[in-house]
């Protein structure tokens, strides 16, 4: 029998994402991929996968999934959510699954992920990954063009997700003591490419105001509410390429930060670009969250990028094995971890 995960309830917007579809932007095909690459990597490493494996990106409200395989191993990282494992017969008696910890589920069990807080997104990785054909080298879903993922769209109730692995590997579970996901005080930007399309007042407004993430945001762009930015010479440019994190400003003066599903080219001036190290933190921001920007130069952004890469590498090194019968989270709280948790690898 083919191992499957059945979608009982889809959540608000659950899509398969990996680290993106690179190399096709000149054909107008967006990169897509996880909004929060940090949590994606953590979930995958905990599940025993390579860090960029395709996993379910859960936005705002999680799905309910039924296990139709001998057993599966899952791990979740991202926004705080109630994650319950329910037995098929008795859906009322749930066992809490800890985030940042892998767990094995048996056939017939149901995994229910509730509403997210603290981050707009979370990632559920399954050991071995999903058995879905990559499109143009990636599992990432780009729903506007029906590309990638499961039939190019977010999950729906009744969907069947085929899994690569027949059953969970026989091994110890893994946990990550912590993962820093709190929003930074500032989102750092490099001015340009079209900062010369804005008045000095417009640039100052961007760097000295506090913006609020609008509910109209999506995977393509984060719309910000707050003071309008003053253009200096119109708001139409001859279209040029866009970078991840580009802050484009249409005629109403309100910034839109381009995210994973950004179109490859655009015709609005881009006042600044969020640095790569801060893109995961940006992707985690919920509607209503406050954002303040701070300008840095390219060298500072590159130093931040190196630090970010080192932080990502440190995730793998921080993962520890958990003895099945031990409630590791509780032990951690009471500082009894030493000797009870084996370092992984």
- Cis-peptide into 193, omega within 30 deg: yes
Give 3-state DSSP helix, strand, coil % of the chain, rounded to 5: 20, 35, 50
| 99/127 Cα distance (integer angstroms) | 15
Choice between 168 and 279, CB closer to other proteins: 279
Contact between 28 and other proteins by CB under 8 A: the answer reads: yes
Query: 242, 280, 282, 315: which one contacts other proteins (CB under 8 A)?
Result: 242
Rounded least distance, CB 324 to other proteins, Å: 38
Nearer to other proteins, 100 or 135 (CB): 135
CA end-to-end span of the chain, whole Å? 33
Minimum CB distance to other proteins, residue 22 (Å): 6
Which ranges in the chain belong to alpha helices (H)? 37-47, 200-208, 279-284, 298-318, 328-333
Contact pick of 101, 138, 248, 273 for other proteins (by CB under 8 A)? 273
Q: Residue 238 interacts with other proteins (CB under 8 A)? A: yes
Rank residues 197 and 211 by Cβ distance to other proteins and give the closer one: 197
Give the C-alpha distances (Å, rounded to integers) separating 333 from 83, 95, 178, 246, 248. Answer: 19, 19, 12, 41, 44
Under a CB-based contact definition with an 8 Å cutoff, are residues 305 and 275 in contact? Answer: yes
For residue 94, how many other CB atoms are within 10 A of its CB? 16
The C-alpha atoms of residue 205 and residue 227 are separated, in whole angstroms, by 7
Q: Which residue's CB is nearer to other proteins, number 114 or number 192?
A: 192
Q: How many residues bind other proteins (CB under 8 A)?
A: 46
Query: Could you say whether residue 137 binds other proteins (CB under 8 A)?
Result: no
Among 301, 319, 322, 328, binds other proteins (CB under 8 A): 301
Residues that bind other proteins (CB under 8 A): 22-30, 135-136, 144-147, 189-190, 192-194, 237-246, 263-266, 270, 273-276, 298, 301-302, 304-306, 309
């Amino acid at each position: 029998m083919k191992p499957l995960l059945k979608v009982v309830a889809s959540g608000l917007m659950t899509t398969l994402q990996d680290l993106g579809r690179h190399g096709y932007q000149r054909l107008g095909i967006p990169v897509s991929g996880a909004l929060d690459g940090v949590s994606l990597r953590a979930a995958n490493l905990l599940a025993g996968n390579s860090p960029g494996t395709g996993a379910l990106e859960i936005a705002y409200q999680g799905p309910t999934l039924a296990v139709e395989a001998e057993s599966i191993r899952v791990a979740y990282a991202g926004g705080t959510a109630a994650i319950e494992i329910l037995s098929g017969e008795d859906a009322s008696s749930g066992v809490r699954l800890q985030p940042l910890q892998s767990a094995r589920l048996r056939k017939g069990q149901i995994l229910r992920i509730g509403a997210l807080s603290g981050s707009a997104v979370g990632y559920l990785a399954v050991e071995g990954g999903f058995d879905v054909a990559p499109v143009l080298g990636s599992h990432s879903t780009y729903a506007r063009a029906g590309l990638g993922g499961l039939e190019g769209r977010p999950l729906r109730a009744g969907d069947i997700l085929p899994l690569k692995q027949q059953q969970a590997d026989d091994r110890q579970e893994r946990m990550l003591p912590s993962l820093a996901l709190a929003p930074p005080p500032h989102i750092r930007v490099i001015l340009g490419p079209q900062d010369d399309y804005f008045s000095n007042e417009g640039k100052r407004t961007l760097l000295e105001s506090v913006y609020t993430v609008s509910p109209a945001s999506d995977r393509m762009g984060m719309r910000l509410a707050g003071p309008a930015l003053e253009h200096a010479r119109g708001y139409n440019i001859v279209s040029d390429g866009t970078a991840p994190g580009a802050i484009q400003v249409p005629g109403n003066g309100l910034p839109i930060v381009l995210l994973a599903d950004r179109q490859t080219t655009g015709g609005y001036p881009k006042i600044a670009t969020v640095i790569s190290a801060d893109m995961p933190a940006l992707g985690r921001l919920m509607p209503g969250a406050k954002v303040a920007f701070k300008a840095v130069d390219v060298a500072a952004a590159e130093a931040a990028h190196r630090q970010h890469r080192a932080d990502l590498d440190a995730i793998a090194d921080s993962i520890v094995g958990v003895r099945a019968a031990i409630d590791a989270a509780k032990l951690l709280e009471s500082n009894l971890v030493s000797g009870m948790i084996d370092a992984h690898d």
